[in-house]
Amino acid sequence: ETVEATVDATMDATVDATDRPAADYINGVLAGDRRVIAKTLTLIESRKPAHRDVARQVLDALYPKAGGAARVGITGVPGAGKSTLIESFGMRLLEKGHRVAVFAIDPSSAISGGSLLGDKTRMPRLSFDPRAFVRPTPSSGMLGGVAGRTREAMMVCEAAGFDVILVETVGVGQSEIAVAGMVDFFLLLLVAGAGDQFQGIKKGIIEMADAIAITKADGDNVENARAARDDYAAALHLLRPERTYWSPPVVTTSVYDMESLDAIWEIIQSCVGLLKEHNELDRKRGGQAIDWMLTMVEQRMLERFRDDPAVKGLLDGLRREVADGRVSPELAARRLLSAHWSEMAP
Amino acid sequence: ETVEATVDATMDATVDATDRPAADYINGVLAGDRRVIAKTLTLIESRKPAHRDVARQVLDALYPKAGGAARVGITGVPGAGKSTLIESFGMRLLEKGHRVAVFAIDPSSAISGGSLLGDKTRMPRLSFDPRAFVRPTPSSGMLGGVAGRTREAMMVCEAAGFDVILVETVGVGQSEIAVAGMVDFFLLLLVAGAGDQFQGIKKGIIEMADAIAITKADGDNVENARAARDDYAAALHLLRPERTYWSPPVVTTSVYDMESLDAIWEIIQSCVGLLKEHNELDRKRGGQAIDWMLTMVEQRMLERFRDDPAVKGLLDGLRREVADGRVSPELAARRLLSAHWSEMAP
């Protein structure tokens, strides 16, 4: 608490107060100070080279302290009630004595600059509870960059002692794959509806789920939700489960029914427990970390390629010529690489 | 035919006769000479730098002549009767006056050196029919490399006048995605079975299909096949189709029932016809070509990275340290790239 007080006093409240030494961030995070945690995440999201340097020192120091949380990915189509469920589920976990951090990966924000998610007003109780930490989506960057910063943010919160991490994403594409690659457990939220609404489910998402929860199973909607549960259970039955010891369950849930929220937590715990029992949790996380290392290598090579003026001068023209069939993809790739590599080693 | 005769006379029958000038290959392929086509594909698969040079000249010259075939990907779980169906379907197309080329992408051959597919004895009639061309799987290389050579082989056969290309793959992972990225139409073969056998379907494959055919719908198996068709049709109904104007049909098929084979060809033609009508076919192929250009850029950058002695010296150790949590993925990526880039521009 002495550390907290000191750091609080010396760090001012503006976003730009990122010129503190790395030790201030590290100590504040390890002391669990929410203001310092917030500042550290801002530091991580900064693109200024000086900030990147300090961020690297902070992350390198915190990394050995991370890993202690249950990492849960939550996805669902728009309208499935993700925010409402996460708010209620998160509050329920706080009541049970957990410390909960919530992140969101929203690829739409990378494109539009706006955000479907990430607004603190979506989760008012959780956002202002001192036992929780809700972070809006980083507002810019490629999905790879956003996903990378979310991984780093998870690490910071784990080092700060949060023991449940919820990573939310919209069910619109590559972001689920990114989230599935950074969590222990992946929950899919679906909402019951008329026959036509089943069509709204994105390809491949059902198959990544460790469990499916049909939301809004309350009031007049209970029967619909149960029917949807049975339909999805039948559809899941047609797919081979990834692990012999875990068949993804399909349940109905309501934010007005605490038992249904507790059931989700029990499902998560029993799946993670089985992963541990089969020595799969460390292997899963180790594999995710190696994949992430290689993904970063790839991304940075591609970034350097894309930023290369020699490549920029050629790419648009070649894309057109390749799409029209005037230049073969092979020849175009050769031209691009030869321009890039001669630029790198002049 | 003069060209054919000349080329035939000057090219000997051995695989190593790859020191011919590019013009011999080009003229032979354009004349539709099957021996020269076979030699050209061997040239393309060669890893010798001198052969690669000639192969590039040949491919660059043939590229503008390619694009005239219906490109069909066919996948299915082992036991679904892929070879038998492709043989019968291919023969049926020959009877209708088409010229059919068959390729296979088999990632298992890249790993084991052996091949599940690619044996000419699997398709005896088609292999020895002068109107068809059956090419065994390239026997080595990463999936990316095999897929690349298959794209090039398709191009050679299109330039030679084949108007239907069938690309076969086993339903075991990434290879379907590679195949889906090089064809106009993707057909999934499934076999009826007991409830448990439904579990054998690989995740995500169903979702890529433009049509599903339940094979072996003959004799005692007709009822099972029809029941399976209805089950899969119901499962497909839960997924959103990729295009509003095409809902993937599910049909039963038997190699003893010519009408069921004709029905598959009609489905392919009507899907490809709709793609053309909606101006989607050129867009799909153009997009595939651009993706392929970028994939090759990426692959070659990664190859150069992996082959770099500086990277090799670090990678195994870093993989272990990252999996164990001793080094962060971010720090490991930085170390690898800094070693690689200082090697490239000393």
pLDDT, one tens digit per residue, over B288-336 is: 999 989 988 988 899 899 999 999 999 999 999 999 888 989 899 999 9
Q: Does B333 touch chain A (CB under 8 A)?
A: yes
Q: Which residues of B243-272 are buried (b: 16+ CB within 10 A; e: fewer)?
A: eeebebbbbbbbbeeeebbebbbebbeebb
The two tokens of residue A238 are 């047609």
Residue A144 binned pLDDT confidence (cut-offs 50, 70, 90): low
pLDDT tops 70 at residue A65: yes
pLDDT tops 90 at residue A321: yes
pLDDT tops 90 at residue B131: yes
Question: What's the full length of chain A, in residues?
Answer: 346
Average pLDDT value for residue range A251-262: 96
* pTM assigned to the model: 0.68
Could you give the CA distance from residue B180 to residue B22 in angstroms, rounded to a whole number?
31
pLDDT in tens, A40-63: 999 988 878 888 889 989 999 999
Place of tokens 């195949």: B179
C-beta atoms of B290 and A319 within 8 A: yes
Q: Are strands B250-252 and B211-215 parallel, antiparallel or unpaired?
A: parallel
C-beta atoms of A203 and B242 within 8 A: yes
Question: Percentage of residues in chain B with pLDDT exceeding 90?
Answer: 53
Contact list in B for residue A333 (CB cut-off 8 A) is 293-294, 296-297, 300
Q: Does A198 touch chain B (CB under 8 A)?
A: yes
- A:83-142 residues touching chain B, CB 8 A cutoff: none
- A·B CB contacts under 8 A: 166
- The predicted pLDDT at position A108 comes to 54
Distance from CA of B82 to the nearest CA of A (A): 21
In DSSP terms, B190 is beta-bridged to B214
Residue B8 binned pLDDT confidence (cut-offs 50, 70, 90): very low
Could you give the CA distance from residue B221 to residue A63 in angstroms, rounded to a whole number?
58
Between A325 and A263, residue with greater pLDDT = A263
Could you give the CA distance from residue A158 to residue A151 in angstroms, rounded to a whole number?
11
Helix, strand or coil, per DSSP, at residue B166: strand
C-beta atoms of A290 and B237 within 8 A: no
Distance from CA of B107 to the nearest CA of A (A): 20
pLDDT tops 70 at residue A78: yes
pLDDT tops 50 at residue B346: yes
pLDDT in tens, B14-28: 445 557 899 999 999
Between A262 and A9, residue with greater pLDDT = A262
Helix, strand or coil, per DSSP, at residue A142: coil
Q: Does B230 touch chain A (CB under 8 A)?
A: no
Q: Which residues contact A179 (CB under 8 A, 6 or more apart)?
A: A73, A75, A105, A147, A167, A169, A186
Contact list in B for residue A207 (CB cut-off 8 A) is 203-204
Distance from CA of A125 to the nearest CA of B (A): 34
Listed range (A23-27, A72-76, A94-98, B46-50) with the worst mean pLDDT: B46-50
Q: Which residues of A48-66 are buried (b: 16+ CB within 10 A; e: fewer)?
A: eeebeebbbebbbbbbebb
Q: How many CB atoms lie within 10 A of CB B94?
A: 18
C-beta atoms of A290 and B152 within 8 A: no
Under a CB-based contact definition with an 8 Å cutoff, are residues A331 and B60 in contact? yes
Contact list in A for residue B204 (CB cut-off 8 A) is 203-204, 207
Q: Does A49 touch chain B (CB under 8 A)?
A: no
Between A139 and A323, residue with greater pLDDT = A323
Contact list in A for residue B201 (CB cut-off 8 A) is 238-240
For A290, the closest of B201, B293, B322 (CB atoms) is B322
Q: Does A227 touch chain B (CB under 8 A)?
A: no
User: How distant, in Å, are the alpha carbons of A122, A135, B43 from that of A81?
Assistant: 11, 18, 57
Average pLDDT value for residue range B121-129: 84
Alpha helix ranges (H) inside chain A: 2-10, 22-30, 34-45, 49-62, 82-95, 107-112, 124-127, 143-159, 174-180, 205-208, 222-237, 258-277, 280-307, 309-323, 329-344
Distance from CA of A105 to the nearest CA of B (A): 19
Could you give the CA distance from residue B346 to residue B340 in angstroms, rounded to a whole number?
10
